[in-house]
Chains A and B, each alone.
Chain A
Amino acid sequence: MVSLVQEIDTEHEDMVHHAALDFYGLLLATCSSDGSVRIFHSRKNNKALAELKGHQGPVWQVAWAHPKFGNILASCSYDRKVIVWKSTTPRDWTRLYEYSNHDSSVNSVDFAPSEYGLVLACASSDGSISVLSCNTEYGVWDAKKIPNAHTIGVNAISWCPAQAPDPAFDQRVTSRTSAVKRLVSGGCDNLVKIWREDNDRWVEEQRLEAHSDWVRDVAWAPSIGLPRSQIATASQDRHVIVWSSNSDLTQWTSSVLHTFDDAVWSISWSTTGNILAVTGGDNNVTLWKENTEGQWIRINYESGTAIQSKQPSLHPHSHSQQQQQAPQQHQHQAPSHPGPSSDSEHSSNLSNSQLSN
């Protein structure tokens, strides 16, 4: 089901807090409490290609920009700084921009969809969100701040995909009007908030309340164009909640994906927006997928069979659909036919990261 491409020993001197592959999946960036960001070849277990030093505290998160702007990486740290790095070759990195206008630890960074240009959002424990946009022509950065976005602090931030679902499927709707920038943020006030850019200002559009403890991570699902939006939020209260809305983004319905054994703090959507990876304080990585009935099932990538989390006896595919689709539906229920031996060998490797603790 999943095949291990590479195992990389980061050799960081302290805890790793985030690791992200670039757009092409060629370079891996990791960041750690030792204050450094390291760049690796994702397919070779070599020494780090580069070590980016500039932060004076633990680095919490890294984010890659879309490659059309060049090789650009942003990192945020406990030292209240956000640094944007740029490279010419994977080994040479220079500091493109440094932003230090936050009063507390910066916990999360995320680059906007490339359609909006080189725009970066930062979430800080001082309660504010910064949106940094770069005029790529002149290399000038402009910062906009949303003060008091969340009381106590903002823990996570994520952008709404640019291809906002086209409301009426109407050809005449101009792309100009639908290009509204949106952000979702989660904070220590247990809230998830959706922000919309409105005439150069960011306004709170929605406030999603369901968590009973700090929200640790938020992720807006990438869109392939379907008229729906999904946001996943992970919280200290051990819940992962998936919020769904139709195309107009006004009504959000929540469904609890699962209650985990420990706080959940990292979630990520697959490109096609149908698989969610989750991990938390118990250090287990789990993958989740929504079946055609709208239930979230855990994908057991070791044996290649799906385990239904809630209603074990429910048969997921409806008989009214055409027979020809049946094989594909089986695929969904049981996401893989027992794979080749090499696959299972690799997938047992994936579990190593869980078993080793």
Chain B
Amino acid sequence: MPPTETLRPGERGGAGGSGGTGPEQTYIIRQSNKYYEHRDSQATAMSVDYSGQWVLLAGRGHLALQRLGQDDGSLRRHERQSKYEVSVAEFAICPSRKEYCAIATSQHIDIVRWGIAEPHYEMSLRGHTRTVTDIDWHGKDPNLLVSCSIDTFSHIWDLREPRKPALSLNAVCMSGATQVGFNRVSGNLLAAAHDGDLRIWDIRKGSCPTHYITAHLNRVHGINWSHKRETCLATASQDGTVKYFDVCNPRRAEKIITTMSPVWRARYTPIGNGLVSIVVPHLGRGENSLLLWSNSKQTDPICSFVGHTDVILDFAWRPNRESSTEIELVTWSRDRTLRVWKIDDNMLKLCEPSAEEEESRFEPDLSELRVPTPPEFLHPRSILVAASLPISTGDGACNTLPMARSPSFGGGYYRREEPHIARSLTDQPTCSLHHEFSLLNTNMPHVEVDTLDAIKRYACFKICAGGHTVILQVTFATSYPSPSAPPDFQFCQGTTLSSEVSGVLLKVLRCNSLQRVKKSRTCLEQCLRALVAAMKKRVAAVGGADRSQLLLQSPRLEGALSSTLHDACIPYPRTSGVHFNAVGMLTTFAQPVNNKRLTLRQHTALTPRTFSAINGSGLLGNVMATAQRDANASFYLQERMISGKPGKQRAIRQMNGSPVVHVYDTSSMLHISRSMAREFSLDKHNIAETCRRNGEICRQHGRLDLVPVWLLAELIATPQVPHETLNELVFYNDPFKKSLLESLIMHYASSGDIQTAVLLACLFDKCPTGGGAIMEMVSRLPPQLNLQISPYHTVLPLDVKSSFSSITCQQLKQLRSNSWSDSLDLEVKQVQPDAYACSLIRRAKVPLFDQFKRSYAEILFGWQLLSKRALILKHTQNMPPPVQGVEFVTECGTCAKPKRTPKCEPCKRPVLFCVLCRLPVKGAANACLACGHGGHMDHMMQWFEKHQVCATCGCKCLERTSELLALLS
């Protein structure tokens, strides 16, 4: 049968033997063997003890025990007082502690021992800062249990030392832990679920997880380790899948069960090869939600357990100590009934893989991705399953119904398989629209398929979600699903949406389709799902009408993962601060924070770590979500409540002390002073005299400690031998003076008195008289000019025309530095490096001292003493700014490496030859930016006085170079 035909809406009803809406069943349906009704119980958690005799039902108001062996159905109730719901209760699973159970309420875990008459509270485990979401006992060591919480931590507790966790596993992530479980085989591994991700820890090395598994797209509700294979576990998630993982191969799931609704729990059967899952159905679509699956067959459940009329909150295995082939399943539902189901031998046998499937397990990649061919669906075994069911072993309420409601295998059965195929297939590029339609899951919640026309290439859907109806028409281009051809979405008549909302929804659709189509994948199903999700969210955001549904999907965690979680990662706000600015001014503020006002969640001596410690910060979470808030309202809850009346705001501020900032001048502590900086002299005509004057300035400003230093400096500067000034070399070669001066400067620099250090460094920088000429020269040069530039790095004059004149055969490259400076029209001057010869400062120290000078210059800049700054900068030799403007780099003709020198050292030959005289160029050179020909500056000038074109190639060098330069600037 061609796939498109099976999906014709008209034919659907006819093909499905069991009638209109329900999917065809090919599995056993069972009623419970026993049930107990407890109308008045508010229990939210359930657990079965080791012996299998007692069931604990724990709720806010009471703990209750139900004995399973007896049929009276009475409940032993024990009142407890708590304002919080019990989030989880677990009996110990080791026989030596079988009368113990752990009950988590809010942040605490109570360990309760069941005595003969009543429970005894043994201890309380306190360590979590947020609601505890799950507990698991260690399977081997009776003293260990693990708990996880919204605060992202998983704590392992040793009951012999209950005061603090024996080990804290810090899952550094945004989302709190929702589930945790010890490995059942070794007990060394531990899995914790954070949103859709799993972290696998080895408790022997608890510093960081051993594996990260990105398991699901949505929150993981259940983790269960295999009872047989050490590294295997199954996870159940909100995204409607149950995945089997091997932690040794965390990249992909081994097997996936896909359902249409969120899966709340999935647990391996303790014996046999099965797995039981709880599916949380969408509101109003209550279908049987407790399913037994075979671990080797993910397409269909083996058995469905029916009877509960509301969401199943939890289930547990009741070990049957006598028989090793039978187990019982105990479930507790929101319909306030406790049901017990027997899973007998026969059923477990069905879970065992057939020989054929066993074989295919060795090639999971193929089996999962392969398009199942029809014969495989019509596998005789599945018929066998349906036909050979044990008919009613009936003890009491037991009611086993063999259901083989699949009379027509053809179309009907085929369709039953569709969702699963669709899942595995849509991840691969598909060929045709026919194919995509054929694979489309027609049983998507909230979506009704009106038309699927692969020939006219369009499809119509009716989507009812969040109180709105949308008639969606999707048109597919012929090239679909190529990256450039997303389908076209239109809302047709009958859509009950405002134009604004429909705009948003259309955008959602387009985004989703584009994402898929980009990878040449089909997108229809993804788009529909996204649309449904968006519609629900939209409505929830507007009116919260669908709240009940949200509650339903997460019966236990409602509200627990609120927005405050964000704040757990944000540090606690500073209430005081310090800040130094660039010129030694200190800003401080400190607010006396009244802890009562802030109502911290935890009263500890220390300031809390995170923002979430503030009670009111839930408000902030809301801000995160909507990014809208009254600008005048205060952020911290209680204050906000008072400030509801605007007139009181001032009063509050006065009460709390208004936030005051102090500005201090700490420059004296930093040994720098603006007024001294203004007065200090750097007159070098008579250094000794200058030193004396500077010493006097220090004395006037109260820096008496500096007076002897300047005296010393004066001594250094005073020539010992008369007329020595005429022979500076002798004078300045005095080794004692040199090292004294250097150690003085270094001392002041390292102790932070940069002012004194720099003044000394500047004063003795160059010889007082002989260096005068150089000094002048330096001062004429702009500070940007780097004296390290080799003269061969021609800085190209802006006035191009006047300077151009010839040719080279070498390739010339041009580089442009970051910015243009005004120094472009300067010629490079080389200052004799011998300026240092008569300096008291060794040349090796010059770069360091220049750094000091520049730092001090920056402080002077901050003080806005610009002329003083310029004076200091005059004394620096190594200005760091790199060459500015156009720079030529010549490439060596032999080794083809760019050279900045006139000669290529490795090749031992000059790099640049003049195109006119054919001789190597060592001095000023110039070249055309367009053709690269050039050479000696004066040759070029001569040439271009008479010629317009290049001497070699006929390029209009002058014009083109000036054009290029214009482009650059």
Residues of A participating in the B interface, judged by any CB pair closer than 8 Å: 1-25, 28, 30, 32-35, 40, 42-43, 53, 56-58, 60, 64, 78-80, 104-105, 107, 115, 125-126, 151-153, 155, 163, 165-166, 169-172, 174-176, 188-189, 213-214, 216, 222-227, 236, 238, 262-263, 265-275, 277-285, 287, 292, 299, 301, 321-322, 324-325, 327-328, 330-332, 335-337, 346, 349-350, 353-354, 356-357
Give chain B residues whose Cβ lies under 8 Å from the Cβ of A327: 704-706, 708
Q: A152-B172, A214-B609 are in contact. Are A20 and B579 (CB under 8 A)?
A: yes
Report whether A266 and B669 are in contact in the complex, using a CB–CB cutoff of 8 Å.
no
- Check: B700 CB closer than 8 A to any chain A CB: no
B645 to chain A, nearest CB (A): 14
Q: What residues of A have a CB within 8 angstroms of the CB of B709 in the complex?
A: 324-325, 328
The stretch that binds A, out of B464-472, B876-884, B934-942, is: B876-884
Q: Which residues of B sit under 8 angstroms from A280, Cβ to Cβ?
A: 576, 607
Q: How far is the CA of A172 from the CA of B743 in the complex (A)?
A: 24
Q: Decide: B571 and A10 in contact? CB cutoff 8 A.
A: no
Q: Which residues in B have their C-beta under 8 angstroms from that of A346?
A: 664
What's the dominant secondary structure at chain B's contact region? mixed
Bound complex: CA A225 to CA B424 (Å)? 63
- Do the beta carbons of A263 and B606 come within 8 Å of each other? yes
Interface residues as binary, B569-608 with A (CB distance below 8 Å gives 1, 0 otherwise)? 1111111111111111111111111000000000000110
Query: Is B239 part of the contact surface with A, judged by Cβ < 8 Å?
Result: no
Which B residues, 506 to 552, have Cβ-Cβ distances below 8 Å to chain A? none
A-B contact sample (19 more), CB < 8 A, given A25-B581, A64-B581, A272-B671:
A8-B660, A10-B589, A20-B587, A24-B863, A25-B582, A25-B862, A57-B629, A153-B569, A175-B882, A188-B172, A225-B848, A225-B852, A226-B749, A266-B578, A279-B577, A281-B606, A292-B751, A353-B588, A357-B592
Selected contact of B846 from candidates A13, A171, A332, CB within 8 Å: A171
Give the CA-CA distance A222 to B624 in the complex, in Å.
36
**3 nearest CB pairs, A to B:** A225-B851, A281-B607, A357-B592
Cα(A152)–Cα(B176), bound, Å? 12
Q: Determine the residue in chain A with the shortest Cβ distance to B582.
A: A23
User: In whole angstroms, what is the CA distance A280 to B863 when docked?
Assistant: 30
Contact B661 A56 (CB under 8 A): no
The residues of A that contact B704 with a CB separation of less than 8 Å are 327, 337
A335: chain B residues at CB < 8 Å are 669
Which residues of chain B are within 8 angstroms of A13 by Cβ–Cβ distance? 632, 634, 649, 653
In this assembly, does B844 line the interface, its C-beta being within 8 Å of a C-beta of chain A? yes
Give the interface size bracket for B toward A.
Answer: 35 or more
CB distance A8 to B570 under 8 Å?
no
- Is residue B658 within 8 Å, beta carbon to beta carbon, of the partner chain? yes
- B interface residue numbers (CB < 8 A to A): 172-174, 566, 569-593, 606-607, 609, 611, 620, 623-624, 627-629, 631-632, 634-636, 639, 649, 653, 657-666, 668-672, 704-706, 708-709, 711-712, 740, 743-744, 747-754, 788, 843-852, 854-856, 859, 862-864, 878, 880-882
Question: Known contacts A78-B620, A175-B881, A216-B571: does B663 contact A6 (CB below 8 Å)?
Answer: yes
With A284-B590, A285-B588, A299-B669 known to touch, is A163 a contact of B632 (CB < 8 Å)?
no
The A/B interface has a contact count, at CB < 8 Å, of 364
13 contacts between A and B (CB under 8 A): A4-B662, A4-B665, A9-B659, A9-B660, A14-B639, A60-B573, A125-B570, A174-B788, A266-B574, A277-B588, A281-B607, A283-B576, A322-B743
CB-based contact B663/A21 at 8 Å: yes
A353-B662 contact given A272-B672, A273-B752, A283-B576, CB 8 Å threshold: yes
Tell me whether B591 and A16 are in contact (CB under 8 A): yes
A347 nearest CB neighbor, chain B only: B664
B889 to chain A, nearest CB (A): 13
Smallest Cβ distance from B671 to chain A, in angstroms? 8
CB of A50 to closest CB in B, whole Å: 15
Q: How far is the CA of A165 from the CA of B546 in the complex (A)?
A: 63
Which residues of B are found within 8 Å of A274, using beta-carbon distances?
Answer: 670, 751-752
Shortest CB-to-CB span from B651 to chain A, Å, is: 12
Q: Name the A residues within 8 Å of B574 (CB-CB).
A: 17-18, 60, 265-266
Tell me the nearest residue of chain A to B627, going by C-beta.
Answer: A56
CB atoms of B606 and A225 under 8 A apart: no
In the complex, what residues of B have CB within 8 A of residue A79's CB? 623-624, 627
Contacts of B636 in A (CB 8 A): 14-15, 33
Residues from chain B with Cβ under 8 Å of A269 in the complex: 580
Contact B579 A226 (CB under 8 A): no
**In the bound complex, do residue B607 and residue A1 qualify as a contact, i.e. CB atoms below 8 Å apart?**
no
Distance from A8 Cβ to chain B, minimum over Cβ atoms (Å): 5
In angstroms, Cα B664 to Cα A268, docked, is 14
